[in-house]
């Protein structure tokens, strides 16, 4: 199972509506995984008590322009400086 629902779940229900596959449903005062989890990690982001854990890396998403720019800056900074000697 990709997603583990920890004991800390308070049953607030915030995670269920954000799941793109509708995999999370409420059962009493807990949430349960009742469908296919595609490891998008959206539910992890909304859980206020961090009860959810994915046992795989979250699905990759496209890199943002700012992340690309940061990487480029870091790479440029790592280049040896031309001291002119």
Nearer to ligand SF4, 20 or 80 (CB): 20
CB of 64 to ligand SF4, least distance (A): 19
Minimum CB distance to ligand SF4 smaller for 8 or for 71: 8
* Phi, psi of 23, deg, nearest 5: -80, -15
Cβ distance to ligand SF4 smaller for residue 5 or 63: 5
Compute and round to an integer the Cα radius of gyration of the chain: 20
- Smallest distance, ligand SF4 to C-beta of residue 62, A: 17
Q: Which residues bind ligand SF4 (CB under 6 A)?
A: 3, 5, 9-15, 18-21, 23-24, 31, 37-43, 46-47, 49, 51-52, 54
Task: Find the shortest distance in angstroms from Cβ 53 to ligand SF4.
Answer: 10
What secondary structure, in 3-state letters, does the chain show? CCEEECCCCCCCCCCHHHCCCCCEEEECCEEEECCCCCCCCHHHHHCCCCCEEECCCCCCCCCCHHHHHHHHHHHHHHCCCCCCC
């Amino acid at each position: 199972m990709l997603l583990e629902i920890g004991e800390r779940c308070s049953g607030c229900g915030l995670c269920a509506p954000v799941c793109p596959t509708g995999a999370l449903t409420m059962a009493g005062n807990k949430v349960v995984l009742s469908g296919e989890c595609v490891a998008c990690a959206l539910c992890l982001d909304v859980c206020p008590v961090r009860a959810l854990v994915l046992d795989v890396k979250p699905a990759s998403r496209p890199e943002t322009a700012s992340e690309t720019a940061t990487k480029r800056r870091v790479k440029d900074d790592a280049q040896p400086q031309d001291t002119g000697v």
